[in-house]
Structures are given as C-alpha cells and as structure tokens.
Amino acid sequence: MMKNYKMILAYDGGRYNGWQKQGNTDNTIQEKLEGILSALAGCPIEVYGSGRTDAGTHAYGQVANFHMDWKGTAEELMDCINEKLPEDIALLSLEVVHPRFHSRLSAKGKIYEYTIWNSKKPPVFHRKYVFWCEKPLNVTKMQEASKVLMGEHDFKSFCANKRMKKSTVRKIYKIQFHCEDDKITISYHGNGFLYQMIRILTGTLIEVGEGKKDPKEMKAVLGALDREQAGFTAPSKGLALKEVFYEEGQDEK
C-alpha cells in the first residue's frame, strides 16, 4: 500500500548544486534522495521539498515528503536511507503522514539563519558556514533597519529573479539578532521567501552595519521595487534553513 512519508533532514550544502534536481547535473540533494528511494522501491520515487535551497546553502531542518510502498516500519526505512546517504546528508526523522500532506504546499512558515563572522581574524574552523566580514558592524543600526522589513511588504527589491511573474509580497514575522563572540546570527521568520531574498536582505543589513547605508533608507529601498536599490547578495555558505512550520495536526494520518 502506498504511504505518504514526511522526512526532516539536515545537510551541509557546501558541495551540492542546491536542493532541486537539474537537467545538467545529478549533484543535488533531491536527486541523491530520489536515487536511494527509487532503488529501494524498485520504481521511480519523487521527493518534494519544502523549499529550494540555493547551491551551497545548508539545512538543519529541511522538510520533504514522498509516496512509497514499503512493507517495513518508518524507522527501518529511515535506517536504510541513512546507510546509503553520504556523510553530509542525514535523515533526522521519518513518519507516515496524511495522504494530502505536501511539504511545500502545506507549509505555513519558515525560519532561516544567516551567520556572519565579524572579526579581523579569519574563521578557520567556521569558514564553510559563515560570511567573513572584517569591518566592525554596528548591530544596533542593523536592528533598526530590520524593523522596517518586518510585516507584510512587496519584497521585489530583494528578489534576484527579475522575471518573477508571481506575487513578490511576503510577510516577515520576526528578525532577530544573536551575537556571540565574533559571530552574528540573524534569524528570519516569515511565511515564505523569494529567490535569494534572505541573502539580499542580509547583504543590505551588512551595508547598514558598515555605514554604507542609513537605516532610514530602508523604506525607500522597499518602496523602489528595484533590485538595484538593495545591497549585495551575501554568499550562500552563511545561510541555513532552520525550521519549517505547519498547522497543528495537518500531517496526521
């Protein structure tokens, strides 16, 4: 009998070309999973992710689902998958859920984290997971600018897809800063994010922290609906998908 499985997985995206499978490469997270599951099932299995993380972006709590006829328990299936996955991808949980549950279409919100290494000293042991910014950042000004970004807005200025035909309106519930030693972690909680939106938001906030932009400019940047008005796109290696949210009971069998 075909069952709908929900998985939560973590991965180091450093050596992959993003989540989504592509025609010109098989080096994506989705394809690694589909290859293993299809071999186990003896037929093609399609995996649906909650979002398409960019090349080099990491995940602590990516959610995906797939339909499969498996005779054993979900725990046995998870063990089989983990045995075959490379060491930089891991299944954290696997469960049978409601047939209509869809990891992307059912999602109500996501939290992403971006980590900056703010020091003149290189981040030797963190270099694969942070953006190194040598110039001291004024976090207070960055926080002031971030307040303008919270709420529901048209974030077209922060979207890398200039040909975007769908709505660019999104809602950010919360932007939080956590500073620990040389690390500054910015957490973004929203109902959804546009292509490279968080990396552009972060690049813009970094420019505020460096004094290149004034916090008062953020309203004008938002209102311009023009990518050229926002800051640079921060590198993908500092970004990680932290958590995906669903309505309570939405995934129950």
From the list 73, 55, 108, the residue with the least C-alpha distance to 3 is: 73
Which residue, 172, 251, 157, is CA-closest to 203? Answer: 157
251 is a catalytic site residue: no
| Cα separations in angstroms, 196 against 35, 45, 123, 234 | 27, 28, 24, 9
Dihedral angle over CA of 234, 235, 240, 241, nearest 10? 70
Cβ within 8 Å of residue 211, ≥6 positions away: 138, 141
> Which one from 26, 54, 88, 181 is the annotated catalytic residue?
54
**Alpha-carbon gap, residue 126 to 129, rounded angstroms:** 6
Among all residues, which ones are annotated catalytic?
A: 54
